[in-house]
Amino acid sequence: MSGRRGQRPRGPGPDACAAPGIVPAPGVRPGIVTAPAPATVSAARRPEATQAATPSRWVRLRRASRNPRAAARHHRPALAFATAVLALGLPLLAAAPWLLVAAALMAPFLAVNVLHARRNRERALVNGLAAVVPACGMLLVAHRAGGGTLAEELAPALACLLYFAGTVPYGKTMIRERRSEAYRRGSVAHHAAALVAAALLDPWLAVPSACYLARAAALLGRGLKVAVVGAAEVGCSVLLLGFLVALHG
């Protein structure tokens, strides 16, 4: 036994795929995937370091991270974000006090997002849908702030809500829930219902909605890369924008 201490193992060891001084990332099977660069390994061990510095991320890390310094890295970005909101929002609020009503209507959805961030469940379906509603509602706020009426932009805002709400389950069927039959059926069912609703808003809106339904049904199980899925959604967004500008200019 003592004569074998200096001998190297005959077969490839657990770090055979790694370069000297680099430890393979957790979950990487040696011999199948080459070890990532040191920076990649560090990011894999500290996923919060690669995330966007947002207030919701700060809330999540305060609750979920075992590293007490993880949330501290987001203190300054969160403070800068809040400062920018106050600096830009207070003058607008002074000129248009009705924005308080809009903020109050959006507050419950923000509360849902903060709650899910606190529970480390930001990818939940409800959380995604809750984020979409106030985002689409900003179309009404911006139009009203520009001197328009809510009635003029109600149909475009609802059209945006129908589309972007559909991207939440659709995105899951293409990535994290691509093997879930429930998500697949739910995504297609939503897009079918959205097609009918869009046609009731304006018959021309049935055209882009039909394209969204076709892509939700036809691209399932294709194994597309995330970048391809994202690029396709950019095109879908531009398509909706083009129809809304043409119809409501």
pLDDT at 59 over 60: yes
Pick 142 or 120 by higher pLDDT. 142
Helix (H) or strand (E) run with residue 7 in it: none
Q: Report the distance separating Cα 113 and Cα 102, nearest Å.
A: 17
Query: 0.85 cut: is pTM over it?
Result: no
Averaged pLDDT for residues 44-62: 49
Give me the percent of the chain exceeding a pLDDT of 90.
53
Q: What local confidence, expressed as pLDDT, does residue 80 receive? A: 86
Average pLDDT, the chain: 79
Residue 19 has what DSSP assignment?
A: P
Q: Report the distance separating Cα 176 and Cα 181, nearest Å.
A: 12
Q: Report the distance separating Cα 142 and Cα 241, nearest Å.
A: 16
Q: Report the distance separating Cα 57 and Cα 148, nearest Å.
A: 35
Domain definitions of the chain by residue range: 16-45, 49-95, 98-249
Averaged pLDDT for residues 58-83: 70
Nearest to 37 by CA among 25, 27, 49, 26: 25
Instruction: Provide the residue type at 128 as one letter.
Output: G
Helix axes 150-174, 125-145, angle to 10 degrees: 150
Tens digit of pLDDT for each residue in 189-232?
999 999 999 999 999 999 999 999 999 999 988 889 999 999 99
Averaged pLDDT for residues 71-87: 80
Give me the percent of the chain exceeding a pLDDT of 70.
71
* CA distance from start to end of the chain: 84
pLDDT at 53 over 50: no
Instruction: Compute how many other C-beta atoms are within 10 angstroms of the C-beta atom of residue 102.
Output: 17
Q: What local confidence, expressed as pLDDT, does residue 55 receive? A: 61
Which residues, 6+ apart, have CB-to-CB distance to 93 below 8 Å? 99, 100
pLDDT at 18 over 80: no
Q: Report the distance separating Cα 118 and Cα 148, nearest Å.
A: 38
